[in-house]
Protein backbone atom coordinates (compact mmCIF):
# COMPACT_ATOMS: atom_id res chain seq x y z
CA UNK A 1 0.00 0.00 0.00
CA UNK A 2 1.40 3.36 -1.05
CA UNK A 3 1.36 5.95 1.74
CA UNK A 4 1.38 9.68 0.98
CA UNK A 5 2.30 12.34 3.51
CA UNK A 6 0.15 15.45 4.03
CA UNK A 7 1.70 17.49 6.80
CA UNK A 8 1.62 15.35 9.91
CA UNK A 9 -0.91 12.97 8.34
CA UNK A 10 -0.20 9.69 6.57
CA UNK A 11 -2.81 9.22 3.83
CA UNK A 12 -3.58 5.49 3.67
CA UNK A 13 -6.31 5.27 1.02
CA UNK A 14 -8.93 7.35 -0.75
CA UNK A 15 -12.42 6.69 0.62
CA UNK A 16 -14.44 9.45 -1.04
CA UNK A 17 -14.41 12.20 -3.61
CA UNK A 18 -16.75 15.17 -3.92
CA UNK A 19 -17.09 18.54 -5.59
CA UNK A 20 -14.92 20.29 -2.98
CA UNK A 21 -12.17 17.73 -2.41
CA UNK A 22 -11.16 14.21 -1.44
CA UNK A 23 -11.57 12.21 1.76
CA UNK A 24 -8.80 9.87 2.92
CA UNK A 25 -8.42 7.29 5.63
CA UNK A 26 -5.37 8.65 7.39
CA UNK A 27 -3.26 8.23 10.51
CA UNK A 28 -1.97 11.00 12.71
CA UNK A 29 0.30 10.94 15.74
CA UNK A 30 -0.86 13.15 18.59
CA UNK A 31 1.39 15.00 21.02
CA UNK A 32 1.33 12.09 23.48
CA UNK A 33 2.73 9.75 20.81
CA UNK A 34 -0.56 7.93 20.16
CA UNK A 35 -1.49 7.02 16.59
CA UNK A 36 -5.07 7.65 15.56
CA UNK A 37 -6.94 6.65 12.40
CA UNK A 38 -9.12 9.49 11.13
CA UNK A 39 -11.09 10.64 8.11
CA UNK A 40 -9.21 13.53 6.53
CA UNK A 41 -10.92 15.75 3.98
CA UNK A 42 -8.42 17.65 1.83
CA UNK A 43 -10.07 20.43 -0.14
CA UNK A 44 -9.16 21.46 -3.67
CA UNK A 45 -6.25 23.92 -3.60
CA UNK A 46 -8.13 26.69 -5.43
CA UNK A 47 -10.65 26.95 -2.59
CA UNK A 48 -8.02 28.36 -0.25
CA UNK A 49 -7.59 31.18 -2.77
CA UNK A 50 -11.30 32.09 -2.68
CA UNK A 51 -11.69 34.74 0.08
CA UNK A 52 -15.44 34.23 0.43
CA UNK A 53 -15.18 30.46 0.68
CA UNK A 54 -12.23 30.71 3.04
CA UNK A 55 -14.23 32.99 5.36
CA UNK A 56 -17.21 30.62 5.23
CA UNK A 57 -15.02 27.57 5.83
CA UNK A 58 -13.35 28.98 8.92
CA UNK A 59 -16.58 30.26 10.43
CA UNK A 60 -18.83 27.28 9.74
CA UNK A 61 -16.37 24.43 10.34
CA UNK A 62 -15.43 26.03 13.65
CA UNK A 63 -19.12 26.22 14.57
CA UNK A 64 -19.71 22.60 13.49
CA UNK A 65 -16.75 21.46 15.60
CA UNK A 66 -18.51 22.92 18.62
CA UNK A 67 -21.79 21.06 18.08
CA UNK A 68 -22.66 18.48 20.70
CA UNK A 69 -25.06 16.21 18.86
CA UNK A 70 -24.44 12.47 18.45
CA UNK A 71 -25.59 12.56 14.81
CA UNK A 72 -23.00 15.15 13.73
CA UNK A 73 -19.66 13.68 12.65
CA UNK A 74 -17.14 14.87 15.29
CA UNK A 75 -14.49 17.28 13.97
CA UNK A 76 -11.09 16.96 15.64
CA UNK A 77 -9.33 19.85 13.94
CA UNK A 78 -9.20 21.88 10.75
CA UNK A 79 -6.86 24.32 9.08
CA UNK A 80 -4.49 24.75 6.15
CA UNK A 81 -1.37 22.81 5.15
CA UNK A 82 0.77 23.87 2.19
CA UNK A 83 -2.00 26.00 0.73
CA UNK A 84 -4.73 23.35 1.06
CA UNK A 85 -7.60 23.42 3.53
CA UNK A 86 -8.37 20.27 5.49
CA UNK A 87 -10.81 18.88 8.06
CA UNK A 88 -9.80 16.08 10.47
CA UNK A 89 -12.89 14.04 11.44
CA UNK A 90 -13.89 10.85 13.17
CA UNK A 91 -13.70 7.91 10.74
CA UNK A 92 -17.18 6.42 10.34
CA UNK A 93 -17.46 2.88 8.97
CA UNK A 94 -20.20 1.58 6.71
CA UNK A 95 -21.44 3.59 3.74
CA UNK A 96 -23.34 6.74 2.95
CA UNK A 97 -27.11 6.88 2.60
CA UNK A 98 -26.98 6.89 -1.21
CA UNK A 99 -25.03 3.63 -1.28
CA UNK A 100 -27.28 2.12 1.39
CA UNK A 101 -30.40 2.83 -0.67
CA UNK A 102 -28.83 1.18 -3.74
CA UNK A 103 -27.68 -1.82 -1.72
CA UNK A 104 -31.14 -2.26 -0.20
CA UNK A 105 -32.83 -2.81 -3.54
CA UNK A 106 -33.27 0.80 -4.59
CA UNK A 107 -35.32 2.23 -1.72
CA UNK A 108 -35.98 1.90 1.99
CA UNK A 109 -39.16 0.78 3.69
CA UNK A 110 -41.06 3.84 4.99
CA UNK A 111 -40.43 3.11 8.69
CA UNK A 112 -36.69 2.83 8.09
CA UNK A 113 -36.68 5.94 5.89
CA UNK A 114 -38.40 7.95 8.63
CA UNK A 115 -35.91 6.71 11.23
CA UNK A 116 -33.07 8.04 9.06
CA UNK A 117 -34.78 11.40 8.59
CA UNK A 118 -35.43 11.77 12.32
CA UNK A 119 -31.74 11.36 13.11
CA UNK A 120 -30.57 13.80 10.45
CA UNK A 121 -33.30 16.24 11.49
CA UNK A 122 -31.92 16.18 15.04
CA UNK A 123 -28.40 16.91 13.76
CA UNK A 124 -29.63 19.80 11.63
CA UNK A 125 -31.74 21.23 14.44
CA UNK A 126 -28.64 21.27 16.67
CA UNK A 127 -26.78 23.20 13.97
CA UNK A 128 -29.66 25.60 13.39
CA UNK A 129 -29.85 26.36 17.10
CA UNK A 130 -26.19 27.38 16.86
CA UNK A 131 -26.91 29.65 13.88
CA UNK A 132 -25.40 27.24 11.34
CA UNK A 133 -27.08 26.36 8.03
CA UNK A 134 -25.77 23.27 6.21
CA UNK A 135 -26.98 24.16 2.68
CA UNK A 136 -25.81 20.86 1.16
CA UNK A 137 -28.01 18.15 2.71
CA UNK A 138 -27.96 15.13 0.39
CA UNK A 139 -27.55 11.34 0.68
CA UNK A 140 -23.77 11.38 0.15
CA UNK A 141 -23.37 13.67 3.18
CA UNK A 142 -25.25 11.26 5.47
CA UNK A 143 -23.09 8.39 6.74
CA UNK A 144 -24.74 5.18 7.93
CA UNK A 145 -22.58 2.58 9.68
CA UNK A 146 -23.99 -0.86 10.59
CA UNK A 147 -26.86 -0.43 13.02
CA UNK A 148 -28.42 2.48 11.09
CA UNK A 149 -27.01 5.19 13.38
CA UNK A 150 -26.88 8.13 10.96
CA UNK A 151 -24.28 10.90 10.93
CA UNK A 152 -24.40 14.21 9.07
CA UNK A 153 -21.14 15.56 7.67
CA UNK A 154 -19.69 18.30 5.43
CA UNK A 155 -20.72 21.48 7.24
CA UNK A 156 -19.13 24.55 5.71
CA UNK A 157 -18.54 22.94 2.32
CA UNK A 158 -21.54 24.28 0.38
CA UNK A 159 -20.77 26.36 -2.69
CA UNK A 160 -22.87 28.29 -5.19
CA UNK A 161 -25.20 26.36 -7.46
CA UNK A 162 -23.11 27.06 -10.55
CA UNK A 163 -20.04 25.49 -8.92
CA UNK A 164 -21.63 22.10 -8.35
CA UNK A 165 -20.96 19.06 -10.50
CA UNK A 166 -21.71 15.35 -10.49
CA UNK A 167 -19.47 13.83 -7.85
CA UNK A 168 -17.97 10.35 -7.63
CA UNK A 169 -21.14 9.06 -6.00
CA UNK A 170 -23.13 10.03 -9.08
CA UNK A 171 -25.27 12.66 -7.33
CA UNK A 172 -26.75 15.09 -9.83
CA UNK A 173 -25.93 18.80 -9.25
CA UNK A 174 -28.83 20.63 -7.64
CA UNK A 175 -30.92 17.49 -7.10
CA UNK A 176 -31.56 18.30 -3.43
CA UNK A 177 -31.31 22.10 -3.57
CA UNK A 178 -34.06 24.46 -2.39
CA UNK A 179 -35.39 26.92 -5.01
CA UNK A 180 -33.98 29.96 -3.21
CA UNK A 181 -30.50 28.41 -3.17
CA UNK A 182 -30.28 28.79 -6.95
CA UNK A 183 -30.16 32.57 -6.41
CA UNK A 184 -27.73 32.34 -3.50
CA UNK A 185 -30.35 32.89 -0.77
CA UNK A 186 -31.60 30.53 1.91
CA UNK A 187 -31.92 30.08 5.67
CA UNK A 188 -32.62 27.01 7.82
CA UNK A 189 -35.75 26.33 5.76
CA UNK A 190 -33.51 25.55 2.78
CA UNK A 191 -32.23 22.62 4.87
CA UNK A 192 -35.86 21.61 5.55
CA UNK A 193 -36.47 21.51 1.80
CA UNK A 194 -33.33 19.48 1.12
CA UNK A 195 -34.10 16.99 3.90
CA UNK A 196 -37.57 16.53 2.39
CA UNK A 197 -35.89 15.70 -0.93
CA UNK A 198 -33.76 13.13 0.91
CA UNK A 199 -36.94 11.64 2.43
CA UNK A 200 -38.37 11.27 -1.09
CA UNK A 201 -35.15 9.57 -2.20
CA UNK A 202 -35.33 7.12 0.72
CA UNK A 203 -38.98 6.27 0.02
CA UNK A 204 -38.80 5.88 -3.76
CA UNK A 205 -35.14 5.52 -4.69
CA UNK A 206 -35.56 8.48 -7.03
CA UNK A 207 -34.38 12.09 -6.79
CA UNK A 208 -37.41 14.40 -6.69
CA UNK A 209 -37.09 15.68 -10.26
CA UNK A 210 -35.65 13.94 -13.33
CA UNK A 211 -32.67 15.21 -15.28
CA UNK A 212 -28.90 14.94 -15.10
CA UNK A 213 -27.93 18.59 -15.56
CA UNK A 214 -28.05 21.60 -13.28
CA UNK A 215 -30.40 23.35 -15.71
CA UNK A 216 -32.91 20.50 -15.58
CA UNK A 217 -32.75 20.43 -11.80
CA UNK A 218 -33.21 24.20 -11.56
CA UNK A 219 -36.28 23.90 -13.78
CA UNK A 220 -37.76 21.18 -11.60
CA UNK A 221 -37.20 22.89 -8.27
CA UNK A 222 -38.36 26.31 -9.52
CA UNK A 223 -41.40 25.35 -11.61
CA UNK A 224 -42.60 21.77 -11.09
CA UNK A 225 -45.06 20.56 -8.48
CA UNK A 226 -43.58 18.42 -5.70
CA UNK A 227 -43.54 14.69 -6.48
CA UNK A 228 -46.10 12.32 -4.95
CA UNK A 229 -44.26 9.28 -3.63
CA UNK A 230 -47.32 7.04 -3.18
CA UNK A 231 -47.94 7.12 -6.95
CA UNK A 232 -44.38 5.85 -7.42
CA UNK A 233 -44.78 2.94 -5.03
CA UNK A 234 -48.08 1.61 -3.69
CA UNK A 235 -46.26 0.55 -0.53
CA UNK A 236 -46.02 4.17 0.59
CA UNK A 237 -48.88 5.58 2.71
CA UNK A 238 -50.58 8.42 0.78
CA UNK A 239 -50.10 10.78 3.75
CA UNK A 240 -46.48 11.11 2.62
CA UNK A 241 -47.72 12.97 -0.48
CA UNK A 242 -48.84 15.86 1.70
CA UNK A 243 -45.67 15.77 3.81
CA UNK A 244 -43.47 15.98 0.71
CA UNK A 245 -45.64 18.76 -0.75
CA UNK A 246 -45.35 20.78 2.47
CA UNK A 247 -41.62 20.22 2.95
CA UNK A 248 -40.90 21.08 -0.69
CA UNK A 249 -43.17 24.12 -0.94
CA UNK A 250 -41.64 26.77 -3.23
CA UNK A 251 -42.16 29.46 -0.60
CA UNK A 252 -40.06 28.95 2.55
CA UNK A 253 -42.95 30.38 4.62
CA UNK A 254 -45.26 27.59 3.45
CA UNK A 255 -42.85 24.80 4.51
CA UNK A 256 -42.27 23.17 7.84
CA UNK A 257 -40.24 25.79 9.66
CA UNK A 258 -37.85 23.36 11.37
CA UNK A 259 -36.42 19.97 10.55
CA UNK A 260 -37.99 18.55 13.72
CA UNK A 261 -41.44 19.57 12.46
CA UNK A 262 -40.71 17.71 9.23
CA UNK A 263 -39.53 14.63 11.13
CA UNK A 264 -42.66 14.67 13.30
CA UNK A 265 -44.89 14.89 10.22
CA UNK A 266 -43.01 12.02 8.54
CA UNK A 267 -43.49 9.84 11.62
CA UNK A 268 -47.23 10.63 11.66
CA UNK A 269 -47.51 9.74 7.96
CA UNK A 270 -46.56 6.16 8.78
CA UNK A 271 -49.95 5.94 10.52
CA UNK A 272 -51.77 7.71 7.72
CA UNK A 273 -51.95 11.05 9.57
CA UNK A 274 -50.96 14.40 8.10
CA UNK A 275 -49.51 17.13 10.31
CA UNK A 276 -49.51 20.40 8.33
CA UNK A 277 -46.87 23.09 8.75
CA UNK A 278 -47.63 25.90 11.19
CA UNK A 279 -49.34 28.99 9.78
CA UNK A 280 -46.87 31.49 8.32
CA UNK A 281 -46.08 34.50 10.51
CA UNK A 282 -48.11 37.66 9.84
CA UNK A 283 -46.56 39.99 7.25
CA UNK A 284 -44.98 43.27 8.35
CA UNK A 285 -47.39 46.24 8.55
CA UNK A 286 -48.29 47.52 5.11
CA UNK A 287 -47.25 44.26 3.39
CA UNK A 288 -49.96 42.18 1.68
CA UNK A 289 -50.10 38.63 2.98
CA UNK A 290 -48.93 35.87 0.66
CA UNK A 291 -51.71 33.32 0.10
CA UNK A 292 -50.83 29.86 1.34
CA UNK A 293 -50.63 27.38 -1.55
CA UNK A 294 -53.13 24.55 -1.68
CA UNK A 295 -51.67 21.20 -0.67
CA UNK A 296 -52.64 17.62 -1.24
CA UNK A 297 -54.62 16.08 1.57
CA UNK A 298 -53.61 12.53 2.35
CA UNK A 299 -55.57 9.61 0.98
CA UNK A 300 -56.92 6.77 3.15
CA UNK A 301 -54.71 5.53 5.95
CA UNK A 302 -52.68 2.40 5.46
CA UNK A 303 -51.22 -0.06 7.89
CA UNK A 304 -47.55 0.29 8.84
CA UNK A 305 -45.62 -2.03 6.64
CA UNK A 306 -43.42 -4.98 7.43
CA UNK A 307 -42.36 -5.51 3.86
CA UNK A 308 -44.13 -3.78 1.02
CA UNK A 309 -44.55 -5.17 -2.47
CA UNK A 310 -44.65 -2.12 -4.65
CA UNK A 311 -44.76 -0.50 -8.06
CA UNK A 312 -42.59 2.43 -9.03
CA UNK A 313 -43.38 5.22 -11.48
CA UNK A 314 -41.02 7.82 -12.85
CA UNK A 315 -43.42 10.75 -13.07
CA UNK A 316 -42.94 14.33 -14.17
CA UNK A 317 -40.67 13.59 -17.16
CA UNK A 318 -41.74 16.84 -18.77
CA UNK A 319 -39.67 18.73 -16.20
CA UNK A 320 -36.49 17.96 -18.06
CA UNK A 321 -37.86 19.66 -21.14
CA UNK A 322 -38.30 22.97 -19.32
CA UNK A 323 -34.56 23.58 -19.23
CA UNK A 324 -34.31 23.04 -22.98
CA UNK A 325 -37.18 25.35 -23.84
CA UNK A 326 -36.21 28.29 -21.63
CA UNK A 327 -37.93 27.22 -18.41
CA UNK A 328 -41.42 27.15 -19.92
CA UNK A 329 -43.88 26.70 -17.06
CA UNK A 330 -45.39 23.25 -17.41
CA UNK A 331 -48.33 21.79 -15.58
CA UNK A 332 -46.91 18.41 -14.55
CA UNK A 333 -50.23 16.67 -14.22
CA UNK A 334 -48.96 13.48 -12.65
CA UNK A 335 -47.54 15.43 -9.72
CA UNK A 336 -50.50 17.68 -8.93
CA UNK A 337 -53.82 17.30 -7.17
CA UNK A 338 -55.86 17.90 -10.32
CA UNK A 339 -56.51 15.74 -13.35
CA UNK A 340 -57.42 18.67 -15.56
CA UNK A 341 -55.67 18.74 -18.86
CA UNK A 342 -55.17 14.99 -19.02
CA UNK A 343 -56.70 12.62 -21.50
CA UNK A 344 -56.05 8.92 -21.53
CA UNK A 345 -58.02 6.99 -24.10
CA UNK A 346 -57.80 3.27 -23.37
CA UNK A 347 -56.88 1.00 -26.22
CA UNK A 348 -59.56 -1.40 -27.40
CA UNK A 349 -57.60 -4.57 -26.89
CA UNK A 350 -55.07 -5.69 -24.27
CA UNK A 351 -51.98 -5.78 -26.41
CA UNK A 352 -48.39 -4.79 -25.68
CA UNK A 353 -48.26 -2.65 -28.78
CA UNK A 354 -50.72 -0.07 -27.45
CA UNK A 355 -49.71 3.48 -28.35
CA UNK A 356 -52.24 5.26 -26.14
CA UNK A 357 -50.57 8.00 -24.10
CA UNK A 358 -51.60 10.39 -21.37
CA UNK A 359 -51.03 13.98 -22.46
CA UNK A 360 -49.46 16.84 -20.55
CA UNK A 361 -50.66 20.41 -21.03
CA UNK A 362 -48.20 23.29 -21.30
CA UNK A 363 -49.32 26.65 -19.98
CA UNK A 364 -47.11 28.77 -22.18
CA UNK A 365 -47.22 30.77 -25.37
CA UNK A 366 -46.50 27.67 -27.44
CA UNK A 367 -47.22 24.02 -26.60
CA UNK A 368 -44.29 21.80 -25.75
CA UNK A 369 -44.66 18.07 -26.29
CA UNK A 370 -43.44 15.84 -23.44
CA UNK A 371 -40.80 13.27 -24.29
CA UNK A 372 -42.24 10.07 -25.70
CA UNK A 373 -42.41 7.08 -23.35
CA UNK A 374 -41.10 3.96 -25.09
CA UNK A 375 -43.13 0.78 -25.29
CA UNK A 376 -42.20 -2.45 -23.59
CA UNK A 377 -39.35 -4.12 -25.50
CA UNK A 378 -40.08 -6.91 -27.93
CA UNK A 379 -39.62 -10.30 -26.33
CA UNK A 380 -36.52 -12.18 -27.47
CA UNK A 381 -36.09 -15.63 -25.87
CA UNK A 382 -32.85 -16.07 -23.97
CA UNK A 383 -31.00 -19.23 -22.99
CA UNK A 384 -32.15 -18.77 -19.40
CA UNK A 385 -35.88 -18.87 -20.17
CA UNK A 386 -37.41 -21.89 -18.38
CA UNK A 387 -33.91 -23.11 -17.43
CA UNK A 388 -33.75 -22.66 -13.68
CA UNK A 389 -36.70 -21.42 -11.64
CA UNK A 390 -35.77 -20.96 -7.99
CA UNK A 391 -38.39 -20.27 -5.32
CA UNK A 392 -36.38 -19.18 -2.32
CA UNK A 393 -37.84 -18.91 1.20
CA UNK A 394 -38.28 -15.42 2.67
CA UNK A 395 -37.84 -14.30 6.25
CA UNK A 396 -41.58 -13.57 6.40
CA UNK A 397 -43.75 -16.64 6.86
CA UNK A 398 -46.55 -17.31 4.40
CA UNK A 399 -49.85 -15.75 5.39
CA UNK A 400 -51.64 -18.81 3.98
CA UNK A 401 -49.73 -22.08 4.16
CA UNK A 402 -48.76 -23.21 0.67
CA UNK A 403 -46.00 -25.25 -0.90
CA UNK A 404 -43.66 -23.47 -3.32
CA UNK A 405 -43.46 -24.84 -6.86
CA UNK A 406 -40.78 -27.37 -7.60
CA UNK A 407 -37.50 -25.68 -8.44
CA UNK A 408 -35.69 -26.23 -11.71
CA UNK A 409 -36.86 -26.16 -15.30
CA UNK A 410 -40.35 -24.82 -16.08
CA UNK A 411 -41.78 -25.81 -19.44
CA UNK A 412 -42.89 -23.09 -21.87
CA UNK A 413 -45.34 -25.48 -23.52
CA UNK A 414 -48.11 -24.45 -23.94
CA UNK A 415 -47.10 -20.91 -24.80
CA UNK A 416 -50.27 -19.45 -23.27
CA UNK A 417 -52.41 -20.60 -20.36
CA UNK A 418 -55.94 -19.35 -19.82
CA UNK A 419 -57.02 -18.43 -16.29
CA UNK A 420 -60.12 -16.76 -14.90
CA UNK A 421 -60.24 -14.54 -11.82
CA UNK A 422 -63.77 -14.63 -10.45
CA UNK A 423 -64.53 -11.58 -8.30
CA UNK A 424 -67.65 -10.21 -6.67
CA UNK A 425 -67.54 -7.51 -9.39
CA UNK A 426 -67.29 -9.83 -12.37
CA UNK A 427 -64.87 -12.15 -14.14
CA UNK A 428 -61.42 -11.10 -15.27
CA UNK A 429 -60.09 -13.44 -17.93
CA UNK A 430 -56.32 -13.80 -18.31
CA UNK A 431 -54.01 -15.22 -20.94
CA UNK A 432 -50.76 -16.04 -19.13
CA UNK A 433 -47.57 -15.68 -21.20
CA UNK A 434 -45.95 -18.99 -20.28
CA UNK A 435 -43.48 -18.64 -23.16
CA UNK A 436 -42.12 -15.34 -21.82
CA UNK A 437 -42.23 -15.60 -18.02
CA UNK A 438 -42.56 -19.31 -17.24
CA UNK A 439 -41.26 -19.15 -13.65
CA UNK A 440 -43.83 -16.47 -12.82
CA UNK A 441 -46.68 -18.32 -14.55
CA UNK A 442 -45.63 -21.55 -12.82
CA UNK A 443 -45.89 -19.84 -9.42
CA UNK A 444 -49.20 -18.12 -10.21
CA UNK A 445 -50.83 -21.36 -11.39
CA UNK A 446 -49.45 -23.24 -8.38
CA UNK A 447 -50.88 -20.68 -5.94
CA UNK A 448 -54.21 -20.75 -7.76
CA UNK A 449 -54.39 -24.55 -7.52
CA UNK A 450 -53.73 -24.30 -3.77
CA UNK A 451 -56.56 -21.72 -3.48
CA UNK A 452 -54.14 -19.11 -2.15
CA UNK A 453 -56.03 -16.24 -3.82
CA UNK A 454 -59.54 -17.40 -2.83
CA UNK A 455 -61.47 -14.94 -0.64
CA UNK A 456 -58.72 -12.30 -0.69
CA UNK A 457 -59.19 -8.57 -1.31
CA UNK A 458 -57.69 -6.48 -4.09
CA UNK A 459 -56.27 -3.96 -1.66
CA UNK A 460 -54.95 -1.13 -3.80
CA UNK A 461 -56.39 1.01 -6.60
CA UNK A 462 -54.31 3.71 -8.28
CA UNK A 463 -56.07 6.10 -10.64
CA UNK A 464 -53.41 8.72 -11.43
CA UNK A 465 -52.70 9.57 -15.08
CA UNK A 466 -49.30 7.87 -15.00
CA UNK A 467 -50.23 4.81 -12.96
CA UNK A 468 -53.65 3.19 -13.34
CA UNK A 469 -53.72 -0.28 -11.80
CA UNK A 470 -55.61 -2.58 -9.44
CA UNK A 471 -53.30 -4.54 -7.12
CA UNK A 472 -54.28 -7.94 -5.75
CA UNK A 473 -52.79 -11.15 -4.40
CA UNK A 474 -52.18 -10.24 -0.75
CA UNK A 475 -54.08 -12.38 1.79
CA UNK A 476 -53.40 -9.73 4.47
CA UNK A 477 -54.92 -6.98 2.35
CA UNK A 478 -52.40 -4.31 3.40
CA UNK A 479 -49.56 -4.73 0.88
CA UNK A 480 -47.27 -6.79 3.11
CA UNK A 481 -48.48 -10.36 2.55
CA UNK A 482 -46.94 -13.10 0.48
CA UNK A 483 -46.52 -16.87 -0.03
CA UNK A 484 -43.36 -17.28 2.05
CA UNK A 485 -41.07 -17.49 -0.97
CA UNK A 486 -39.74 -15.23 -3.71
CA UNK A 487 -38.35 -15.64 -7.21
CA UNK A 488 -36.43 -13.75 -9.87
CA UNK A 489 -37.61 -11.17 -12.39
CA UNK A 490 -38.35 -12.25 -15.97
CA UNK A 491 -39.70 -10.31 -18.97
CA UNK A 492 -39.11 -7.38 -19.55
CA UNK A 493 -36.14 -7.08 -17.16
CA UNK A 494 -34.42 -10.00 -18.89
CA UNK A 495 -34.35 -8.07 -22.16
CA UNK A 496 -31.75 -5.62 -20.77
CA UNK A 497 -28.09 -6.15 -19.87
CA UNK A 498 -27.45 -6.23 -16.15
CA UNK A 499 -26.88 -2.71 -14.85
CA UNK A 500 -28.36 -1.06 -17.96
CA UNK A 501 -29.54 2.48 -17.02
CA UNK A 502 -32.64 1.84 -19.13
CA UNK A 503 -33.92 -0.45 -16.35
CA UNK A 504 -34.61 2.70 -14.34
CA UNK A 505 -36.35 4.64 -17.10
CA UNK A 506 -40.11 4.37 -17.57
CA UNK A 507 -41.70 2.41 -20.37
CA UNK A 508 -45.35 2.05 -21.24
CA UNK A 509 -47.16 -0.84 -19.58
CA UNK A 510 -50.23 -0.92 -21.86
CA UNK A 511 -53.84 -1.33 -20.85
CA UNK A 512 -54.56 -5.01 -20.41
CA UNK A 513 -51.19 -5.99 -18.90
CA UNK A 514 -50.83 -8.36 -15.93
CA UNK A 515 -47.57 -7.92 -14.01
CA UNK A 516 -45.96 -8.74 -10.67
CA UNK A 517 -45.63 -6.24 -7.84
CA UNK A 518 -42.36 -6.47 -5.93
CA UNK A 519 -40.27 -4.98 -3.13
CA UNK A 520 -37.14 -4.62 -5.26
CA UNK A 521 -35.21 -6.70 -7.78
CA UNK A 522 -35.98 -10.44 -7.70
CA UNK A 523 -38.50 -10.26 -4.85
CA UNK A 524 -41.61 -11.49 -6.66
CA UNK A 525 -44.12 -13.28 -4.47
CA UNK A 526 -47.91 -13.46 -4.82
CA UNK A 527 -48.96 -9.85 -5.38
CA UNK A 528 -49.78 -8.75 -8.92
CA UNK A 529 -51.38 -5.79 -10.62
CA UNK A 530 -53.86 -5.39 -13.45
CA UNK A 531 -53.32 -2.40 -15.76
CA UNK A 532 -56.62 -0.86 -16.88
CA UNK A 533 -55.10 2.24 -18.51
CA UNK A 534 -51.67 2.72 -20.06
CA UNK A 535 -49.17 3.29 -17.24
CA UNK A 536 -45.55 4.41 -16.95
CA UNK A 537 -43.18 2.16 -15.00
CA UNK A 538 -39.53 1.15 -15.21
CA UNK A 539 -39.24 -2.30 -16.83
CA UNK A 540 -38.55 -3.94 -13.46
CA UNK A 541 -42.00 -5.50 -13.01
CA UNK A 542 -42.43 -8.92 -14.57
CA UNK A 543 -45.17 -9.03 -17.22
CA UNK A 544 -46.81 -12.45 -17.32
CA UNK A 545 -50.07 -12.05 -19.21
CA UNK A 546 -52.89 -10.01 -20.67
CA UNK A 547 -56.51 -9.31 -19.72
CA UNK A 548 -59.50 -10.08 -21.94
CA UNK A 549 -62.12 -7.52 -23.00
CA UNK A 550 -64.69 -8.62 -20.40
CA UNK A 551 -62.06 -8.38 -17.68
CA UNK A 552 -61.13 -4.85 -18.76
CA UNK A 553 -64.79 -3.86 -18.60
CA UNK A 554 -64.88 -5.17 -15.02
CA UNK A 555 -61.75 -3.20 -14.15
CA UNK A 556 -63.17 -0.05 -15.74
CA UNK A 557 -66.21 -0.26 -13.44
CA UNK A 558 -64.00 -0.73 -10.39
CA UNK A 559 -61.82 2.21 -11.39
CA UNK A 560 -64.84 4.42 -12.12
CA UNK A 561 -65.96 4.03 -8.49
CA UNK A 562 -62.64 5.52 -7.41
CA UNK A 563 -60.64 5.32 -4.22
CA UNK A 564 -62.22 5.13 -0.78
CA UNK A 565 -62.25 8.61 0.75
CA UNK A 566 -61.21 10.30 -2.48
CA UNK A 567 -57.74 10.78 -3.92
CA UNK A 568 -56.09 8.67 -6.56
CA UNK A 569 -54.31 6.03 -4.52
CA UNK A 570 -55.62 3.72 -1.81
CA UNK A 571 -58.31 1.15 -1.01
CA UNK A 572 -60.89 0.74 -3.80
CA UNK A 573 -64.17 2.45 -2.95
CA UNK A 574 -65.90 -0.64 -4.29
CA UNK A 575 -64.68 -3.67 -2.34
CA UNK A 576 -63.15 -6.22 -4.70
CA UNK A 577 -63.04 -9.80 -3.41
CA UNK A 578 -61.40 -12.59 -5.41
CA UNK A 579 -63.64 -15.62 -5.00
CA UNK A 580 -61.47 -17.97 -7.03
CA UNK A 581 -58.73 -18.21 -9.64
CA UNK A 582 -59.15 -21.22 -11.89
CA UNK A 583 -58.13 -22.44 -15.38
CA UNK A 584 -60.46 -21.19 -18.11
Cα–Cα distances (Å) from 462 to 342, 508, 513, 517, 568, in that order, read 16, 16, 15, 13, 6
Contact assessment for residue 508 and residue 548, using Cβ atoms and an 8 Å cutoff:
no
With residue 558 as reference, give the H or E element that holds it: helix 549-561
| Positive or negative: CA dihedral 313, 175, 338, 113 | positive
CA–CA separation, 564 vs 404, rounded Å? 34
CA–CA separation, 65 vs 47, rounded Å? 20
With residue 118 as reference, give the H or E element that holds it: helix 110-129
Which phi and psi (to 5°) does residue 485 adopt? -145, 165
DSSP 500-545: -GGGGS-EEE-TTEEEE-BSSTT-B-S-EEEEEE-EEE-TTS-EEE
Specify the length of the chain in residues. Answer: 584
Nearest of 474, 113, 482, 106 to residue 270 by alpha carbon: 113
Contact assessment for residue 538 and residue 503, using Cβ atoms and an 8 Å cutoff:
yes
Please state whether 565 falls in left (phi above 0), alpha (psi between -120 and 50) or beta.
left
Nearest of 583, 582, 527, 577 to residue 554 by alpha carbon: 577
Contact assessment for residue 309 and residue 150, using Cβ atoms and an 8 Å cutoff:
no
CA–CA separation, 584 vs 563, rounded Å? 30
88 labelled catalytic: no
CA–CA separation, 362 vs 341, rounded Å? 9
How many CB atoms sit inside 10 A of residue 28's CB? 18
50, 82, 88, 136: which one is catalytic? 136
- Positions marked catalytic: 136
Amino acid sequence: MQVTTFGRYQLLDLIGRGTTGKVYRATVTTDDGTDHVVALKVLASELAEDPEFLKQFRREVSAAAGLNNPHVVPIHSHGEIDGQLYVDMKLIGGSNLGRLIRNEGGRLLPARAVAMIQQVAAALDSAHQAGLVHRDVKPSNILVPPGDFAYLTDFGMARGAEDTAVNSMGHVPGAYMAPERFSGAGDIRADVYSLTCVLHKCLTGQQPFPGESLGEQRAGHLTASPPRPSTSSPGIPPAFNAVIAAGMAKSPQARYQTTLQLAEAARAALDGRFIPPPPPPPPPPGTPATPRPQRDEPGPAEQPERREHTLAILGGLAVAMTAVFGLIALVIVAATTSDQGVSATPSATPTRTSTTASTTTATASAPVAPPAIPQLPSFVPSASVEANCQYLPTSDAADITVSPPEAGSASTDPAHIGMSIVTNRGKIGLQLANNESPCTVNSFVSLAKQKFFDDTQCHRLTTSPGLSVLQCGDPKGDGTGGPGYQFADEYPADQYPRGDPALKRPVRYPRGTVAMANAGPNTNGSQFFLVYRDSQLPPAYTVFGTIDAAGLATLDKIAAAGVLGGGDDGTPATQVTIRSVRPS
